[in-house]
């Protein structure tokens, strides 16, 4: 039995293999703890670790005393074989240098994963905002071209052709009338950070949703008194039945504590 390389960790072999792991560890603890403070026991019941265990003491002297006192001891009808472990245990290393702790390494790895995910999310948000800004710029350019007289315009729509202008105005009026005929809900007392995307997420669960736009008219008296800085939205549906169902299920909805949403049919 080699004692040339003392260690606070003992390697124990020739253990009985039929005993369940919790019972085996408890019995080993009872056997070795009289020799000093046992801070960890590693016992495996599968693969190449069957019949083996590592007993980790807080002090080197305790391990040496246990090795001398228990070598050859009969344990579950088998003679124990005990020697110093060839390398220090993870428990011993973490006590000597906390930065080597497996738990700390796992926490650092988890923090890195979260940080990377946050970075990817922020990058995607920047790309989305850039795409939206580009689309807004293209729309402004298109509107400018349409508003300029002369090139690119249909001669039938140019000023001076009263008949065509009148026809166009009638078509626009008919479209506005058709849109105004859609059943709508007035939603008020929403937090300043609320936007069309958040409202769409709330109302998209209801059948027949057509559009969600900002509402700037006076708040109906039946609604709760709006908080300072609150926003309002107009939500349009295809049928009165679908609009009514959404109204009944979202009236009084709390987007956040203290912000009870007012909902009523327009």
Which residues lie across from 41 on neighbouring strands?
A: 55
- Indicate whether this model's pTM tops 0.85: no
Integer Cα distance of 206 and 186 in angstroms: 16
Q: Specify the length of the chain in residues.
A: 266
DSSP per-residue letters across 126-181: HHHHHHHHHHHHHHHHHHHHHHSSSTTS-GGGSTT-HHHHHHHHHHHHHHHHHHHT
pLDDT at 151: 53
Structure tokens at 58: 């807080």
Can you give the pLDDT at residue 16?
87
Rounded CA-CA distance 203/55 in Å is 61
Domains of the chain by start residue, with CATH:
9-97 (3.30.70.330), 181-265 (3.30.70.330)
User: What is residue 96's predicted lDDT score, i.e. its pLDDT?
Assistant: 54
**Strand ranges of the sheet holding 38-44, from the earlier edge strand across to the other edge:** 38-44, 52-57, 9-13, 81-84
Structure confidence at residue 1 (pLDDT): 44
Q: How far is CA 28 from CA 43, 55, 181, 246, in A?
A: 10, 8, 82, 66
State the pLDDT at residue 106: 53
Using 70 as the pLDDT threshold, list the residues of the chain that sit under it: 1-4, 45-49, 89-119, 121, 145-180
Q: pLDDT value at position 183?
A: 94
Q: Determine the pLDDT at residue 177.
A: 46
160 vs 206: CA distance, rounded Å: 47
User: Using an 8 Å Cβ cutoff, are 31 and 25 in contact?
Assistant: no
């Amino acid at each position: 039995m080699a004692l040339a390389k003392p260690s606070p960790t003992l390697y124990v072999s020739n253990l009985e293999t039929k005993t369940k792991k919790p019972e085996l560890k408890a019995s080993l603890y009872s056997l070795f703890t009289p020799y000093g403070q046992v801070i960890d026991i590693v016992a495996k019941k599968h693969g190449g670790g069957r019949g083996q265990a590592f007993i980790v003491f807080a002090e080197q002297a305790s391990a040496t005393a246990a090795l001398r006192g228990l070598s050859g001891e009969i344990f579950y009808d088998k003679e124990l074989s005990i020697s110093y472990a060839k390398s220090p245990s993870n428990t011993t290393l973490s006590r000597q240098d906390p930065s080597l702790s497996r738990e700390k390494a796992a926490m650092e790895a988890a923090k890195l994963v979260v940080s990377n995910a946050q970075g990817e999310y922020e990058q995607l948000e920047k790309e989305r905002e850039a795409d939206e800004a580009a689309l807004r710029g293209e729309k402004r350019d298109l509107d400018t071209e349409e508003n300029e007289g002369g090139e690119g315009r249909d001669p039938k729509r140019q000023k001076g052709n009263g008949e065509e202008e009148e026809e166009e105005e009638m078509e626009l009026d008919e479209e506005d009338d058709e849109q105004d005929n859609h059943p709508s809900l007035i939603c008020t007392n929403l937090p300043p950070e609320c936007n069309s995307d958040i409202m769409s997420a709330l109302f998209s669960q209801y059948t027949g949703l057509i559009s969600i736009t900002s509402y700037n008219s006076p708040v109906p008296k039946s609604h709760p008194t709006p908080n300072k800085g609150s926003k309002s939205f107009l939500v349009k549906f295809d049928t009165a039945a679908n609009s009514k169902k959404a109204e009944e299920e979202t009236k009084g909805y709390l987007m956040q504590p203290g912000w009870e949403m007012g909902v009523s049919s327009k």
